[in-house]
Amino acid sequence: MGTDECRVVRDGYVITGGSVTAGIDFALVVVAEIFGRAPPGPPTRL
């Protein structure tokens, strides 16, 4: 069995975070789920 490198996983009504450092990503996904918006993409360098 392989593993995915996902930081946040949604399975039906369950949303889980992959690590302690995924807290902000997890929070953004939860807020996006509540308000019906797509989560932001990765940051870009200026």
Asked if the model's pLDDT at residue 33 lies above 80, the reply is yes
Averaged over 19-36, what is the pLDDT?
83
pTM as predicted: 0.57
Q: What is the full DSSP assignment across 11-44?
A: ETTEEEESSGGGHHHHHHHHHHHHHT-PPP----
Q: What is the mean pLDDT of residues 11-17?
A: 84
What percent of the chain has pLDDT above 70? 83
User: What's the token pair of residue 26?
Assistant: 């997890």
Q: CA torsion, points 13, 17, 22, 23, in degrees to nearest 10?
A: 60
